[in-house]
A and B are shown apart, each in its own frame.
Chain A
């Protein structure tokens, strides 16, 4: 496979994954805030700030009054905002275009339909009353794409590259979502005696990552900061956890490495090392300094991505 095309497929996988997480974050936060148990979590300003934090454009100045329609438009359909959903989908399609000969007709057609759905979505409808419909469609269409990736491509190098992109991105988005909700949980402390550990925001966090039902089944208890973070960071069986994503990245890098024992400067070696670090970590090590595990995880993921670029994509 051409190095340039591999790079494009890697990013195609990332952009698909990214648009899904952003869309879900918008939907879950918006709708769960409507009947949230405390005043702050119900506040529109609070939710809009949380959304902007998640996409990487936080507004720290408390005196700024945000306009709901503007924020929703910016994150969803604004062609001039690089991290908007429409730009993510456009980028995934552009990347798919250049690798059109390598991916299946079925996968390409689904990506193409996805893009046309979004670019034809009426911005007025979306910001007034289409948020649920729009974001639900984005998450469903991304699921279809994941299905097409898994079932219409050979499980070879091409597949491995797309899966690595998807999983590195998933871990990145999950940790960003954790970060945004961690900030929310800190802010929401105090109102109605809501303490950080038992904040309502942990439930929202699980819903934002589609892990609430799984988590309830596993712990059979109301989520708190410790169980939620343990589940989303360390549980290898939760398909949205950092641990699970790292396992996937490791599994697929081995396809590219042809099962060789990895060289110490290779991506496979680095991924293996990072994976082992999380595998043998306990929640006790994390709970006292959540901010630093968030930052560290983002750094490690970035490092893996850089290493891949150097090893496979430089052309």
Chain B
């Protein structure tokens, strides 16, 4: 039936102010999306409703869920997943990939420097107080040489496309970036539901992440170890990212341990197996710094391993990521990234940084307070989209409250111009139609000794609420499969 053609896109409303990933300015579907657009257009709305339900059931049965608690009982929910994939053409990907590697390498050199000679501070490229006042700076890491010289083994770089068509980095996550398992799940779910569409595009596979991760982790084994024993440590099965922890352990073929499974003796780490203790050499830890060792950090932590840090200090075990990396993914350090890249690599930054105003500097604070309506105000040390205020969305009462808060603790805040995240057609259950929704992209970079890997794909996160700019899953975001196309 010809009149069904493109029925599911017929009510798609384009807001001309926003950068639409699939339509050009004249309202034509872009070349790279045209095949996909026609293939999806062949489905009727009821077909699509059906496919969408099946995809949800697939996530549910696989147990790719998180728990929400209400008064009566705990419920399991799936992470919302959108069936319309995002395509990244090869020439755009080349920029993202080389830019992500550049940032990860620069951050690694920066971390080595600030935990050793602090040259960048002595040469006044970065101010001392930025480091010393950071809650994530660990004095204990001073002069410790991590195995292979690597601190941020795994980095998650969040990039967005602004309405000028350029990619900008929003933040670098180098503590415990999560989300990579969803990249793979999304691909699996999309293949199950709409396998036919894959025949028309040459897309890179995303399932090689775990093998590359294991490979690179093994390059940073402690000295004197031949065949390293790698484990993943998780806070436990009630952690919201537990699925990801178990997925990574399973696909790497290594043990998934909890703190109580490990112990330290004579500064070596062992796990308790049914055949007795077995030595552990490399720990991919998914527990925050503060909790890894109650003897060194938070004494009330039951998630960590007493004595772990002492073993690390002696070089008997590798921790990935290294403790203390958080100092470099601080949103205040972010603002110095162009200088940091130039200083260590002697290169120009490949990916754009968003201009940032430091509220700690009186002049910039003044600008922020005067232009608060045009800015996004962010706390420097929060993750997960918490504590963010978007100037043009605030009531006048809220503006006063935010202003007061920033003034009372200027070091805690930075401000950036309100960026317009690009939009992507996203299926909205409630309305049974596609609508524009803002998206970003989290990429995953792994650094090893003289080796690096970027997953060719990433987690495209969608803000499902209309007009919302915050895409984090804890704030009601969903995700899309992301196709990086092979060069023709």
Q: Which residues of A contact B (CB under 8 A)?
A: 1-6, 94, 97-98, 100-102, 105, 108-109, 112-113, 116, 157, 161, 256, 312-313, 315
Contacts and interface: CB of A to CB of B under 8 A. Distances in A.
B271 A2 contact: yes
Contacts of A108: 62-63
Interface in B240-261: 242-243, 246-247, 249-250, 255-258, 260-261
Contacts of B273: 1-3
A4 B249 contact: no
B272 interface: yes
B246 A101 contact: yes
Contact of A315 (B61, B236, B247, B261): B261
Contacts of A315: 260-261, 272
A109 B272 contact: no
Given A3-B272, A3-B273, A97 B61 contact: no
Nearest to A110: B61
Q: Which of A98, A105, A157 has the most CB of B within 10 A?
A: A98
B125 interface: no
Contact of B250 (A97, A100, A161): A100
Interface in B216-250: 232, 236-237, 242-243, 246-247, 249-250
A161 B274 CA distance: 10
Nearest to A158: B274
A4 B233 CA distance: 14
A312 B274 contact: yes
B31 to A, nearest CB: 38
12 contacts: A1-B273, A97-B242, A100-B250, A101-B246, A101-B256, A109-B61, A109-B62, A109-B63, A113-B61, A116-B61, A161-B274, A313-B274
Contacts of B453: none
Contact of A100 (B246, B258, B272): B246
A112 B261 contact: no
Contacts of B246: 100-101
Nearest to A161: B274
A227 B347 CA distance: 87
B61 A3 contact: no
A98 B257 CA distance: 10
Given A101-B250, A315-B272, A2 B61 contact: no
B60 interface: yes
A122 B243 CA distance: 29
Contacts of A98: 236-237
A157 B237 contact: no
Contacts of B272: 2-4, 315
A105 B250 CA distance: 10
A4 B61 contact: no
Nearest to B65: A112
A4 B263 CA distance: 13
Contacts of A313: 274
A1 B61 contact: no
Contact of A4 (B62, B232, B260): B260
Give the contact-size bracket for chain B. Answer: 20 to 34
B63 A112 contact: yes
A101 B249 contact: yes
Q: Which of B61, B232, B236, B260 has the most CB of A within 10 A?
A: B61
Interface string B54-94: 00000011110000000000000000000000000000000
Contacts of B237: 94, 97-98
Given A116-B60, A312-B274, A4 B250 contact: no
Contacts of A112: 61-63
Contacts of B247: 101
A97 B250 CA distance: 12
B63 A4 contact: no
Contacts of A5: 256, 261
Given A5-B261, A100-B250, A108-B63, 9 more contacts: A1-B273, A2-B272, A3-B272, A3-B273, A4-B272, A97-B63, A101-B249, A112-B62, A315-B260
A313 B250 CA distance: 22
A41 to B, nearest CB: 39
Given A100-B246, A315-B261, A256 B274 contact: yes
Contact of A3 (B60, B62, B256, B274): B274
A105 B62 contact: yes
Contacts of B274: 1-3, 6, 157, 161, 256, 312-313
Most buried by A among B256, B260, B272, B274: B274
Nearest to A3: B272
A112 B273 CA distance: 26
B250 to A, nearest CB: 4
A100 B255 CA distance: 11
A97 B242 CA distance: 9
A2 B242 CA distance: 17
A161 B273 CA distance: 13
A251 to B, nearest CB: 17
A100 to B, nearest CB: 4
A98 B243 CA distance: 10
Contacts of A161: 274
A32 B271 CA distance: 52
A93 B36 CA distance: 40
Interface string B17-30: 00000000000000
B482 to A, nearest CB: 23
Nearest to A98: B237
B248 to A, nearest CB: 8
A2 B63 contact: no
Given A97-B237, A101-B250, A2 B255 contact: yes
A276 to B, nearest CB: 25
A313 B60 CA distance: 31
A267 to B, nearest CB: 11
